[in-house]
Amino acid sequence: MFLIAVFSVSVVSILPTVAMTAINYYQYQEALHAESLRPMLRVTTHAKLSLESFLTERLSALSLASRMTDMAELRDTDKLSTILKHLKQACGGIVDLGVITESGQQVAYAGPYQLKGKDYSKQDWLHEVMRRGVHVSDVFMGHRNLPHFVVAVHREATDGEGFVMRATIDTEAIKRQVLSAGPRPSSDAFIVNHQGILQTPSRFYGKALGKLSLSVPPYSPQAELLEVRDSNGLPLVVGYAYVEDSPFVLMTVHRLDLIQESWISLRRELIVLLIVSIALVLGVVVAGAKYMVNRTRESDQKRAAVLHNLQYTSKMAAIGRLAAGVAHEINNPLAIINQKAGLIKDKLSLSPELPSPQELIPPVNSVLSSVDRCKTITHRLLGFAKHMDVQPEEIELPLLVQEVLSFLEKEASYRCIQVDLQVEPEFPTIRSDRGQLQQVFLNILNNAMAAVEDCGKIEIGMVRSGPNAVEVSVRDDGVGIPAENLGRIFEPFFTTKKSSGTGLGLSITYGVVQKLGGLIRVESKEGEGACFTVELPLEHRS
């Protein structure tokens, strides 16, 4: 009972705690995860806008310079050098400047190299800038042997010759744009092209123009985040943004385990809190269950003691009801004793000679027989009235019922009530408590005697009801029990005997039969009598 109480209360108490902890665990994890990723997305977006602004600024400066100067002026190296100087001051990051005809010949150049006269007619970028008006190249080494990329704008012919103005941009300039993503020591930021070639050096994935080991994310017009794993299975969060009108993809890489350090600490605290809560709940439950079980045990013990006393009181009440019949039964042998003793006295006092032994033996035998009869009656009555603990023993039910009937035979004889006992052949003995069975059948038979009219009939039947049980039925032809009372006759203090009943007899009988491992049931129709059936196991196991 203690373990059942602890288990049931613990489950009811702990399950909500575990459920709430699991819900909080999930919610905190999701919230912290989102909170950790939001700054990464914001930084990636800002870096993308910064890089786009950087490229737009230089393309716009080139376009403005090409539109404000005609081809004849641009062919002048000094003029072109002056324009380069102004562009460097205004924008920065521009290494050199060249003017290329629509046929692909570089007719003017300002910068640290001798590139005037270089032919670009077979370069794909030239065709692109002619078609689109602007061009931003991938990073490449070229004859400079340094990573760089070029931007170019096309000026269409209006009143003069069309041409392309081309500027070389130092990658150090866009590296500074990448650094605006502000990577932490455990993070990385770099630019790749659409083919996965690094355009700027990476902290973890190699130098510029090397192949990136991660896959290039799919195109999106806005900054996005992906959760991936690298070649070593390490969980990563990758922020990326495609830079418009360029071959560049800005990427930031963050280690997820380092991002979630705060979550790991909070998770540890949640688990510790759950363990402490469960320990406290179990402590309170065990203490409470122990207290309640002890109180219940004490209550059961008191209830058992009260029931035992109530059974004994009921038994004494039954004996009180039988006292008149017992007294009458004892009076008969006492009258015989008195008569035979008087006869012996007369023979001894009136006859001058002592009577012969043959004359005295019959009355003496009659006296002794009557004394034995009184002894049997009183012993049986005292044995029935004794306080006895439950002591299972081998019992022959027919003899026990006949013994109970012996208390009622004078009332049955006086009221002309016929009592028939029918026992099935080879009826088995049972192992149960004699005293309690006596009380059960005395209560049932007393009720039957009270229910029948004078010259009525009571039938007692004993049969084997199964391999391990027997049935004893007591049927009378008395007044019967109303249908509305059948469900209540075993309730304490319920009685139909308004003047004499206490309502405890059948209630006690019901409890005793259950304690002996049996069942009791009743069938009745008002005006046609009632039948009480007691089913008992062959062996009672307490």
Domain residue limits at 509: 390-542
Identify which has the larger pLDDT, 361 or 199. 199
pLDDT digits 0-9 by tens, 408-456: 887 888 889 999 999 999 899 999 988 888 888 988 998 898 889 998 9
On whether both 158 and 221 belong to a single domain, the answer is yes
Can you give the pLDDT at residue 536? Answer: 93
On whether both 191 and 324 belong to a single domain, the answer is no
On whether both 489 and 520 belong to a single domain, the answer is yes
Model confidence at 508: pLDDT above 70: yes
Model confidence at 512: pLDDT above 60: yes
In angstroms, rounded to a whole number, what is the distance separating the alpha carbons of residues 225 and 223?
Answer: 7
Q: Please choose, from the candidates 135, 119, 60, the residue with its C-alpha nearest in 3D space to the C-alpha of residue 91.
A: 60
Can you give the pLDDT at residue 316? Answer: 62
| Domain-located, residue 410 | yes
Report how many domains make up the chain. Answer: 3
Can you give the pLDDT at residue 533? Answer: 94
Over residues 23-52, the mean pLDDT reads 80
On whether both 377 and 228 belong to a single domain, the answer is no
| Domain-located, residue 271 | no
Question: Among residues 203, 236, 259, which one ends one of the domains?
Answer: 259
Distance from chain centroid for Cα 319 = 57
Can you give the pLDDT at residue 311? Answer: 60
pLDDT digits 0-9 by tens, 227-236: 888 888 888 8
pLDDT digits 0-9 by tens, 285-313: 888 878 877 888 788 777 766 666 666 66
Model confidence at 499: pLDDT above 60: no
In angstroms, rounded to a whole number, what is the distance separating the alpha carbons of residues 213 and 287?
Answer: 61
Question: Among residues 214, 237, 259, which one ends one of the domains?
Answer: 259
Model confidence at 272: pLDDT above 70: yes
On whether both 321 and 196 belong to a single domain, the answer is no
In angstroms, rounded to a whole number, what is the distance separating the alpha carbons of residues 22 and 14?
Answer: 12
Model confidence at 348: pLDDT above 60: yes
On whether both 42 and 168 belong to a single domain, the answer is yes
Model confidence at 537: pLDDT above 60: yes
Model confidence at 196: pLDDT above 90: yes
Mean pLDDT over each residue of the chain, to the nearest integer: 82
On whether both 401 and 356 belong to a single domain, the answer is no
Can you give the pLDDT at residue 107? Answer: 93
| Domain-located, residue 62 | yes
Find all residues with CB under 8 Å of 375, minimum gap 6, and list them: none
On whether both 469 and 526 belong to a single domain, the answer is yes
CATH number, residue 437? 3.30.565.10
On whether both 195 and 154 belong to a single domain, the answer is yes
Per-range mean pLDDT, top range of 91-95, 193-197, 342-346, 523-527: 193-197
Model confidence at 498: pLDDT above 80: no
| Domain-located, residue 364 | yes
Model confidence at 204: pLDDT above 60: yes
Over residues 331-348, the mean pLDDT reads 70
Can you give the pLDDT at residue 460? Answer: 94
pLDDT digits 0-9 by tens, 42-67: 888 988 999 999 999 999 999 999 88
Q: Residue 90 has which token pair?
A: 């205004």
CATH number, residue 239? 3.30.450.20
Distance from chain centroid for Cα 210 = 55
| Domain-located, residue 482 | yes
| Domain-located, residue 526 | yes
Question: Among residues 335, 365, 387, which one ends one of the domains?
Answer: 387
Q: How confident is the model at residue 41 (pLDDT cuts 50, 70, 90)?
A: confident
Sheet with strand 235-242: strands edge to edge: 187-193, 248-255, 235-242, 224-229
Can you give the pLDDT at residue 216? Answer: 93
On whether both 352 and 467 belong to a single domain, the answer is no
On whether both 87 and 217 belong to a single domain, the answer is yes
Residues of the chain with pLDDT > 70, as a percent, come to 81
Identify which has the larger pLDDT, 426 or 384. 426
Q: How confident is the model at residue 326 (pLDDT cuts 50, 70, 90)?
A: low
Q: Of all residues in the chain, what percent are helix, strand and coil, respectively (each to 5)?
A: 50, 20, 25
Model confidence at 95: pLDDT above 70: yes
On whether both 361 and 400 belong to a single domain, the answer is no
Q: How confident is the model at residue 91 (pLDDT cuts 50, 70, 90)?
A: confident
Model confidence at 383: pLDDT above 60: no
| Domain-located, residue 296 | yes
Model confidence at 494: pLDDT above 80: no
Specify whether the CB–CB gap between 330 and 374 falls below 8 A: yes
pLDDT digits 0-9 by tens, 137-165: 999 987 767 889 999 999 987 766 789 99
Handedness of CA 476, 478, 483, 489 (dihedral sign): negative
| Domain-located, residue 203 | yes
**Euclidean distance between the first and the last CA atom of the chain, given in angstroms as a whole number:** 17
Among 17-26, 81-90, 261-270, which stretch is predicted with the lowest mean pLDDT? 261-270
In angstroms, rounded to a whole number, what is the distance separating the alpha carbons of residues 38 and 259?
Answer: 12
Model confidence at 170: pLDDT above 80: yes
